Chains A and B, each alone.
Chain A
Amino acid sequence: MRVLIAGAPTVERSTLRSALADAGDDVLTARTPGGALVSARGTRLIVIADDFDDGAIDAELRRDHPGAIVVRGFSEAVVALAAALRAEDGGREAVEEAERRSTFLAEASPLLDASLDLRATLDSIAEVSVPHLADICLVDVVDGPEVRRVASAAADLQLERLLRSLPRRYQVDVAGDDPVARVVRNRRAEIVHGEVSRVFGGRTQLGGHLPRAAMIVPLVARGRAIGVLALASLSSNRAFTDAQLELAGELAHRAALALDNALLYQHQSTLARVLQESLLPDRLPEFAGVDLGAAFRPAGDGAVIGGDFYDAIVGADDALTLMIGDVTGKGAGAAALTSLSRHTLRTAAMYERGPSEILSVLNRALVSSRGRRGKYCTVALCRLERSGGGFTARVSCAGHPSPLLLRGDGEVRAVGAPGTILGFVDDPDNPEVVTALEPGDAVVLYTDGITEARTRSGLLGDRRFAEMLQGCAGMSASAIAARLERAVVESQQGDTRDDVAITVARVTDPHSG
């Protein structure tokens, strides 16, 4: 029975996955919703982590997978449900088959664990196979006529070195008689003798070692053969038994899942990154007398779109408005809210004459579009207006940390006052604070992904961030943004929990720049 588990990596998910796989279910896992879930055809049971806050996904899944049961949360109840569904499907036979499989795996090695970590999975497979099952183990991904080696292992170091010297990519005739092409085409394992060399890309000898026989097992994921697992023997005495072929099938099954998930995940990450990038400005505007810079790093591994945004826009009256904000939540809903917020603020900034007025436009838009849940957004806004030979900074904040001012001499202080978060009440308080800027001064807007970053000595905090900024005295806006981002990332432990966004505007010195 095919089961799909979707959700952030947690101990519960691994436990559930093991429980289901041990019972014989074909378990697919995905970290994120969207493509992964919709394309897992033939899935009978779909288990989603509670932390996917997109409530619409349940309905979407039921629509796309008629007949599938969709449940939320990982628990023993899900295992019981799966057993009940299985009993309906295959009966005793399926259970016995599952028991046999799990016995093989228990005997093979405790290292075998279908994790999403591709490298770890492939390495465990190689470790388990060699030398117990074969002298050489190869994992190849096959895409049309192209074969690409993703893992290899051999019984001794010299052989391993030889394997690594072989071409990592080669071509096969998909309709031809090459054993690899055949196995992929037929999706059926074969034991080959005599044409073993072709598994190695055409070399008949590996420094004098002659492969005598090989088991070539297809890597099948979601009904598609994505490659092969080849286990070759150099000894004429080693004949592959049915039991070994069966175990090779188990290893291939694990490898296929891991590879498929990795490819899917990579695709998801790319998709998310492209989407995220469309939510951010392509480039910052030119504004005479001010040098602009920005840095942005999405949370975690970037596969889930977060809610931070920033922008800079020149208004009708030749004033520059810098903005930075943070919407609640993650994922598609947050992305839509980010887009709404950023574009509403941009438009308001083109016509409104003051920072509080700009914020009030977004507030009205958010309050009027609230649904079952509110749409809330924190923003820090800084309007730079020309004044005499220099600039005036008019700052207004809504539930957001006040921007920092870095003076030419290295002094750092906050500019701005606390204000009500937007989207909550009809009449928020977002007082304005006015500061005169001199050449060399830089205004830094940032999101709390920075001050909330987890470091070895606790949360980064305001004081340490201010110290990092002091170290940037005299740098250009881009350099300041880049340096701060790098400093935060370096001091951090593990993945970022939240997006990190920084926007910097520096008044250039007409003499030195």
Chain B
Amino acid sequence: MAIDIRLTEEDGGVRIVVGGEVDLATGHQLERTLLRAEDRAAAITLDLSGVDFFDSTGLQILLDADVRARSNGHRLVVIPGDGEAARVIELTQVASRFTSAVVE
């Protein structure tokens, strides 16, 4: 079980690119990275297209991130890709219900 998180600055914000597995053992690392990024930047792009495994742990993190973006006012863009993250987002029908997150 391994996760790969890459954080880069881009104009106006931060891009977080995730690879590997997002699950009970690794999820907290992604969550910590997101929380730290939210402190620093007004816009965050979360790229999940390279994720191999994404279960309810990842979903929890994603949904909570949207709710925080709603209340904190920062911009959150989620890129599900067409792999595991996209599958879970589709099954739970949340893409069209994100308040702040724009899914590309």
Contact = CB atoms under 8 A, between A and B. Distances in A.
Contacts, number: 67
B93 A328 contact: no
A329 B56 contact: yes
Interface residues of B, number: 21
B5 interface: no
A328 B59 contact: yes
B28 A53 contact: yes
- Which residue, A50, A329, A399, A497, has most C-beta atoms of chain B within 10 A? A399
A429 interface: yes
Interface in B1-55: 23-25, 27-29, 55
A237 to B, nearest CB: 54
B92 interface: yes
B52 to A, nearest CB: 11
B93 A330 contact: no
Q: Per DSSP, are chain A's interface residues mostly helix, strand or loop, or mixed?
A: loop
A376 interface: yes
A51 B24 contact: yes
6 closest residue pairs by CB, A with B: A399-B92, A421-B92, A328-B56, A328-B60, A51-B25, A420-B93
Interface in B77-104: 90-94, 97, 99
Interface residues of A, number: 30
Contact of A418 (B29, B55, B91): B91
A50 B56 contact: no
A452 B54 CA distance: 11
B93 A421 contact: yes
B93 A399 contact: yes
Contact of A376 (B23, B24, B63, B90): B63
Nearest to B26: A51
22 contacts: A8-B25, A10-B25, A51-B24, A51-B28, A53-B27, A53-B28, A328-B56, A328-B60, A329-B24, A329-B56, A373-B64, A374-B60, A374-B63, A374-B64, A376-B59, A399-B91, A399-B93, A418-B90, A418-B91, A421-B59, A425-B97, A429-B93
Interface string A416-444: 00111100110011000000000000000
A255 to B, nearest CB: 30
